[in-house]
Amino acid sequence: MHDAIEWAGQSLKCDAAGCDHVEPVPEITADLIGTPCPKCGANLLTEEDHAAGLEIQAMVALINEAIGPVDVPDEVVRTATAVSFNPHKGSLTIKVGE
Ligand SMILES: [Zn+2]
């Protein structure tokens, strides 16, 4: 059994223009607010973006609770299309297949 929406991994993505740095993290937590980008020095996680991320996590938890566990073979889960969510400055970018 699986959640309808499962987290494949979390990362901090640099939103500075021209920088493509992505920092994988075990979990996005408040202590990461203010982490500097190792490539350009920009803030990888603002308080505003962290708060938006928490709202996304709460929304996913609500959806999973409403749907309940789903009976999907592990192989299907492993090959499912990844969808990424990037909250930034009050907007949310959703990319499919990354
Ligand atoms: Zn950067």
Per-residue pLDDT of 84-97, as tens digits, reads: 888 999 999 999 98
Q: State the pLDDT confidence band at 22, using cuts at 50, 70 and 90.
A: very high
What is each CA distance from 84 to 11, 71, 93, in whole angstroms? 10, 23, 8
In a domain, 2, yes or no: no
In a domain, 1, yes or no: no
Range(s) of the domain holding residue 65:
10-96
Distance 38 CA to ligand 1 centre (A): 7
∠ CA(12), CA(15), CA(18), 5° rounding? 125
Distance 5 CA to ligand 1 centre (A): 29
Q: Is 24 helix (H, G, I), strand (E, B) or coil?
A: strand
Which residue has 């920009």 as its token pair? Answer: 42
CA separation for the pair 24, 51 (Å, rounded): 19
52, two tokens: 């938006």
Q: State the pLDDT confidence band at 18, using cuts at 50, 70 and 90.
A: very high
Number of structural domains in the chain: 1
For 33-85, the pLDDT digits (tens) are 999 999 999 999 999 999 999 999 999 999 999 999 999 888 888 888 888 88
Distance 71 CA to ligand 1 centre (A): 40
